[in-house]
């Protein structure tokens, strides 16, 4: 239970027994999406520091988790992400402009500014809105999976969350229901070592987080969360089992959040520079680049080109989103009632008259 599955060895070669055997085009796609996610992350932090957006939750260091898991998902699967899993959305085809629009909250935002900046969603890929309360997405993911099971649909749901989420009542309720009713749910815990400032050692006395699955009667697996191929294999296998009616799985992905918890956080207060430096050496993007170089699929020039391409894609997306106008005032009165009540119609008309 406490052993950890890895595919990419320290020297960049792959364990043939664990390698998911993805085609070359998929391997290169994974790398490009990881590079795009890192570029998006760096730019969003710069935008917040410059006062151009209000808030952001970064994911540097965890790209292998969300991109690897996102690649394993299929059409029809339900996604209940944490706020740090932009990679799942990008991997499933959510346009970069759609994510950015929801961070800006202007007319480029499909939810028209009704959400907090990092509460993004995409109905077209069944990606349910992020929310701030810790682990509330877990019971929701189980409910969606149970409904799919009752309808006889061969789909699964995935809920991603952090190590701190395992300390909530929602975690227990979701795990217990999933185990009892054998719902097609994958619980994807990205153990990045800290629940904001609280280390995982203060979250549990158990030998791992994956071992907690035993109490609920289903499988628990630990995977190297900085190894995108290992994440892809483990999540893919768990989703396939779920779709085949073999019940839920808890996956603990060991990873590390290189940057702050959010743009409102100062991580230097609760962790050392030496610790961060040690984890930087395990950078998932650099590790995957070494693997691809060893396979003859990339070299220094193509790695640099991928990074430049990602930065340019982010720059163009920011340009498009920042050119969008504010959300119209009258949208305040829309999307709630099929027919607007008279008193709200009067309030709308008064608001619009005051603008003239």
Active site residues: 257, 261, 270
Give all strands of the β-sheet with 4-5 in edge-to-edge order: 4-5, 219-224, 249-254, 185-191, 157-162, 78-80
CA 118, CA 102: separation in Å to the nearest integer? 7
CA 317, CA 309: separation in Å to the nearest integer? 12
* Burial zone of 18 (CB within 10 Å; 0-12 exposed, 13-18 middle, 19+ buried): middle
Query: Can you list the alpha helix ranges (DSSP code H) found in the chain?
Result: 24-49, 63-72, 86-91, 96-104, 137-151, 169-181, 228-243, 273-280, 284-294, 300-322, 342-355
Question: What are φ and ψ of residue 254, in 5° steps?
Answer: -80, 115
Tokens in use for 189?
Answer: 């815990």
CA 98, CA 92: separation in Å to the nearest integer? 13
Closest by Cα among 152, 148, 186 to 65: 186
Q: How far is CA 245 from the centre of its chain?
A: 25
Closest by Cα among 200, 173, 57 to 117: 57
First to last CA, the chain: 67
């Amino acid at each position: 239970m406490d052993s950890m599955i890895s595919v990419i060895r320290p020297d960049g070669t792959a364990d043939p027994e664990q390698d998911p055997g993805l085609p070359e085009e998929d391997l290169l796609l994974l790398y490009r999406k990881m590079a795009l996610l890192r570029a998006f992350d760096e730019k969003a932090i710069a935008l917040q520091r410059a006062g151009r957006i209000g808030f952001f939750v970064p994911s540097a260091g965890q790209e292998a988790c969300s991109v690897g898991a996102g690649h394993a998902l299929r059409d029809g699967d339900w996604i209940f992400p944490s706020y740090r899993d932009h990679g799942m959305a990008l991997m499933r085809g959510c346009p970069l402009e759609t994510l950015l629009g929801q961070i800006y909250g202007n007319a480029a935002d499909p939810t028209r500014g009704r959400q907090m900046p990092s509460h993004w969603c995409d109905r077209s890929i069944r990606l349910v809105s992020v929310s701030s309360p810790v682990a509330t997405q877990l019971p929701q993911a189980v409910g969606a999976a149970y409904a799919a099971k009752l309808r006889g649909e061969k789909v699964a749901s995935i809920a991603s969350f952090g190590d701190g989420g395992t300390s909530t009542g929602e975690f227990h309720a979701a795990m217990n229901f999933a185990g009892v009713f054998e719902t097609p749910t994958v619980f994807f815990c990205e153990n990045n070592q800290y629940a904001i400032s609280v280390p995982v050692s203060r979250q549990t006395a158990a030998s791992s987080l994956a071992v907690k699955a035993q109490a609920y009667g289903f499988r628990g697996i630990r995977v190297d969360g900085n190894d995108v191929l290992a994440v892809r294999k483990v999540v893919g296998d768990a989703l396939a089992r779920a779709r085949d009616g073999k019940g839920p799985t808890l996956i603990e992905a060991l990873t590390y959040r290189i940057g702050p918890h959010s743009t409102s956080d100062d991580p230097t207060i609760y962790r050392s520079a030496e610790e961060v430096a040690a984890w930087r050496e395990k950078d998932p993007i650099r590790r995957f680049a070494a693997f691809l170089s060893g396979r003859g699929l990339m070299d220094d020039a193509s790695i640099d080109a991928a990074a430049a391409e990602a930065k340019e894609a982010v720059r163009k997306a920011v340009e498009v989103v920042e050119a969008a106008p504010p959300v119209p005032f009258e949208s305040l009165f829309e999307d709630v009632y099929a027919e607007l009540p008279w008193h709200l119609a009067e309030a709308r008309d008064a608001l619009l008259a005051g603008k003239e």
